[in-house]
Amino acid sequence: MFKAMVRLSACLFGIALVFLLLVELLNASDILEGLQEQSYYFRVMLAILGSLAAIAAWFLYGFMFYHWGSVIFKNRFYKRLWFFSLLLGMFIGAFAYYVLVFELQLTDHTSRKIKEKQGN
C-alpha cells in the first residue's frame, strides 16, 4: 500500500511538473494570453489537476522523508546529502529522491526477488 501511494503521488507530481514547464514555455512565447477566453471546462480541469498535484506533492514530500528516515545508507555523507536535498529542495528534492533513491531501491529489490524465484 505504501509503495502504491508513493507511486501515485510521484506520478501526479510528475504530471504537474510537466504541465508547469509547458505553461512556462507557452507563457514565454505569449501563447497563453487568451487563456481567460478558453473553455470553462478546460479551466476547471486545470484547476482540479493543480489541486491534486499540490496534494500529491505534500504526500510525496512526507513519504520521502519517512523513507529517508527508515533507510540505512552505506555512507553518512549520502544520508546527510539527501537530508539537505529534501529539506531545502522541498518538492523538487523529494521528486529527485524518489527517482534517484526510492525507485532504484524498489527496482533492485524486485529484480532480486525475481532472481530468487527463478533459482528455486
Report how far residue 17's alpha carbon sits from residue 93's, in angstroms, rounded to the nearest whole number: 13
Name the pTM for this structure. 0.67
Give the CA-trace dihedral at 108, 114, 119, 120, to 10 degrees. Answer: 130
pLDDT exceeds cutoff 80 at 62: yes
Scanning the structure block, which residue is given the C-alpha cell 509547458? 22
Residue pair 60/6 in contact by the 8 Å Cβ criterion: yes
pLDDT exceeds cutoff 80 at 76: yes
Mean pLDDT of the residues in the chain: 77
Instruction: State the CB neighbour count (10 A cutoff) for residue 106.
Output: 14
Domain spans, the chain:
2-119
Report how far residue 36's alpha carbon sits from residue 81's, in angstroms, rounded to the nearest whole number: 43
